[in-house]
Chain A
Amino acid sequence: MILLYIIFAIIVGLLFHGIHRKVIARIQTRPGPPIWQEFLHVMKFSFKQTWIPKTASKVLFVAIVPAVIAIWAGALYVLLTGGSLLVIFGVYLLHKITEHGLGLSSGSPYGKFGAIRSVLSAASEIPLIASIAGIYFVTGSLMISDIVAYQADHGILLITALPIALAMYVIILSKVPYSPFGIIEAKEIVSGNKTEHFGAFRAGLEVGFALKTFVLLAVFVTLFIGAMPFWMLLVASLILLLTMSFICALTPMLSPYDAVTIQIGVIIIVIIYMAFIAFAGGMP
């Protein structure tokens, strides 16, 4: 039942966020919050006062929150049914639009800067296009079910298409909290595009972002490791997240220029790889 999967994904996503923060803290020799801290955050925000700033576009300010939850709930359904990777890409694009809308809806200068930076970080969509194109080059299909079946016959894409996996890894890394690519929610602009969404709206956003984290991790594991029991998917997603936690703990936040430069570099690597398999191995 899709509803149970969505609720489960939200719970696991919030737990993943908590584990992510805990691991970052321990690497930095800090005690860190408990791993259920994100649950406490959601509850805390839901019990707080909620209002809409005077300068906000009321409809956009409110509607953007259910939009975030809805698009990732849809992406989860596509993943569970082995649907098209292009839909996941579309959801990623829509998420970029919601990031933009979040920041611009409030009228706050902090939100505005967050929204502007989300446009800059849209450079991460190009590695995503490149990695999706690379997956098609290698497997001949964009359906998740076909990609999983391909891996059953030809080996996991994590080994046979490592540059593409690295590109996707960078894309997901750019979306986890406290990421070196996390220019949108940087502390020098308070909370960036999320600054003016508080109370019930912020609680809703945290739920949506938890869903996003779960879906992105599960997409990577499914695309590059293949079919596995659900409990193994969770373990693999957690291990993937822990590798990102190490990177987040040990790297400073990049400047917008550096973040875009690195993502452009990833695109170049993927393009070179695709040219190699096109001329050396041939497309399927």
Chain B
Amino acid sequence: MIRKETEKKISKGQAKAAALISAIICITASALAFTGHIDGWLGAGIVVVAFPVFVLSLFTALRESTKDGDYPFVGY
């Protein structure tokens, strides 16, 4: 079966930026909720939305490149 790569390329740089931004949002919302500057439910809501984005973008940033490697051709 021929594998066809059809992913819309998200560069590692973009994924890292998304991970960083979502992490900052999560930490900020948690801290503001903890210190009472915003309601607890609001802080939790922001974290609930931003944390999964952080997780997925972090793992996307860590992923292996999908470009084929330079495999030695042994011939047949």
Contact = CB atoms under 8 A, between A and B. Distances in A.
Interface of A: 1-4, 6, 45-54, 58, 62, 65-70, 73-74, 77, 81, 199-201, 203-204, 207-208
B40 to A, nearest CB: 7
A203 B59 contact: yes
Contact of A69 (B4, B29, B43, B51): B51
Contacts of B8: 52, 58
A3 B47 contact: yes
Given A45-B59, A69-B55, 6 more contacts: A1-B31, A47-B62, A66-B55, A70-B52, A199-B59, A200-B59
B7 to A, nearest CB: 4
Question: When A and B form their complex, which 8 residue pairs have the shortest distance between CB atoms, in order from nearest?
Answer: A66-B52, A200-B59, A69-B52, A3-B30, A46-B59, A77-B44, A50-B63, A51-B7
Given A3-B26, A52-B7, A46 B31 contact: no
A68 B55 CA distance: 11
24 contacts: A3-B47, A47-B63, A47-B64, A49-B65, A49-B66, A50-B60, A50-B63, A50-B64, A50-B66, A51-B66, A58-B8, A65-B52, A66-B55, A66-B56, A69-B51, A69-B52, A70-B49, A70-B52, A73-B47, A77-B44, A77-B48, A199-B63, A200-B56, A201-B59
B52 A204 contact: yes
A100 to B, nearest CB: 18
Given A50-B66, A51-B66, A70 B6 contact: no
Contacts of A74: 44, 48
Interface size class of B (residues with CB under 8 A): 20 to 34
Contacts of A3: 26-27, 29-30, 47, 51
Given A3-B30, A58-B8, A46 B47 contact: no
B7 A200 contact: no
B17 interface: no
Contacts of B43: 2
Contacts of B64: 47-50, 199
A284 to B, nearest CB: 28
A52 B6 contact: yes
B4 A2 contact: no
Which of A48, A65, A66, A208 has the most chain B CB within a 10 Å cutoff? A66
A204 to B, nearest CB: 5
A6 B52 CA distance: 11
B63 A46 contact: yes
A198 to B, nearest CB: 10
Interface string B42-74: 011001110111011011101111100000000
Contacts of B53: 66
A45 B47 CA distance: 24
A204 B59 contact: yes
B63 to A, nearest CB: 4
Interface string B12-44: 000000000000001101110110000011011
Contacts of B27: 3
Contact of A70 (B51, B59, B66): B51
B44 A2 contact: yes
A163 B30 CA distance: 39
A200 B62 contact: yes
Contacts of A207: 55
